[in-house]
Amino acid sequence: MSRAILLLNMGGPSNLDEVELFLKNMFDDRYILQTNPILRKIVGKIIVKKRLNEAIENYKALGGKSPLLEITNSLAKKVSSLTNIPTYPVMRYVPPFAIDILKRFKEQNIKELILFSMYPHYSTTTTKSSIEDIKAALKELNYNPTLKIIDRYYNNKEYIEIQASLICEALNSNNSQDINLIISAHGLPMSIIKKGDPYQKEIEENKELLVKELKSRGVEFKDTILAYQSKVGKGAWLEPNLIDILRNPTSLRVLIFPISFTIDNSETIFELDIEHREIANKMGYKFYKVAKCPNDRDDFARFIANMIN
């Protein structure tokens, strides 16, 4: 049976011209702005207008693009090589879009699609949005392949081991007992959590499993703190906020691990490693390091291949 693997992610602008498209599509997503379509259009336009220039400047600091697609393409090649199944990234808000990839698959008579979420934790705002995007495109194309969906893996032992390795590599030869580990997850509005979104629960469980794995390797930090980043607007979001943690330190030596991302993007490279580093510098931090995401590591490619096979 002819099969293909799709790596699902929200995407990131591959050039400065795509920044506006990225923002427009993100804030037109009913799973992101959970309100009626007319109000979403109005509010979305206001948010995009307010954020566009700043977002462009942020991407300029990253060399004029997000590294997300490039890294995901590299990962896809490795997964394809390990599985002998064609593997492609599909992005939610910028190309490559689901409709374009799936149109090609229909022409090639691909019978089975394996959807692999690049989000380790399930959320309506990310995982569900991406999967529904695929289903809508399939319906539009009148294309009915078999679907196999891998929608979360935050509690998978092999994945936890990769996370622990990333932390140990970032720690290098530094003494963990002198350092606070801040596990940083992307924030979500409390209104979404209250509707039953499992994201917070899965993040907290992931943290506990990760601490246990680190301990089994003899790595114990001075303290391990779970925080949430990337808050937008004035409403109630998941707490504690990472900025508040950094501004009220219990240690001036911190290692930050971005637990909710598998591929480095503007929220890890710009927000954590540039913007939040400035806060740390002003506060007089002696050690401030951001661990890498799994990216296109060989062990992460093997993990995906194992999940599929």
Helix (H, G, I), strand (E, B) or coil at 229: strand
- pLDDT of 1 > 70? The answer is no
Q: What is the pTM of this model?
A: 0.96
| Cα(134)–Cα(96) distance, integer angstroms | 12
Contacts of 151 (CB under 8 A, 6+ apart): 115, 117, 122, 127, 131
pLDDT tens digit string along 141-186? 999 999 999 999 999 999 999 999 999 999 999 999 999 999 999 9
Cβ of 280: how many Cβ atoms within 10 Å?
A: 19
The per-residue pLDDT for range 208-263, each reduced to its tens digit, is 999 999 999 999 999 999 999 999 888 999 999 999 999 999 999 999 999 999 99
Can you give the pLDDT at residue 233? 84
Return the closest-CA partner of residue 69 out of 125, 160, 3, 7: 7
- The pLDDT value given to residue 33: 86
Nearest to 301, CA basis, from 80, 95, 135: 80
Q: How does residue 93 score in pLDDT terms, banded at 50, 70 and 90? A: very high
Q: CA–CA separation, 294 vs 298, rounded Å? A: 9
Phi and psi dihedrals of 150, rounded to 5? -110, 105
* Domains along the sequence of the chain with CATH: 3-152 (3.40.50.1400), 157-290 (3.40.50.1400)
> In the predicted model, is pLDDT for residue 70 greater than 70?
yes
Distance CA(243)–CA(276), nearest Å, equals 7
At residue 54, the pLDDT reads 95
Question: What distances in angstroms separate CA 292 from CA 79, 124, 148, 205, one per listed residue?
Answer: 20, 25, 29, 21
Which of the residue ranges 39-48, 136-145, 271-280 would you say has the lowest mean pLDDT? 39-48
Contact between residue 213 and residue 156 where contact means Cβ atoms under 8 Å apart = no
Edge-to-edge strands of the sheet including 146-150? Answer: 87-91, 3-9, 112-117, 146-150
* 9 neighbors 118 (Cβ within 8 angstroms): yes
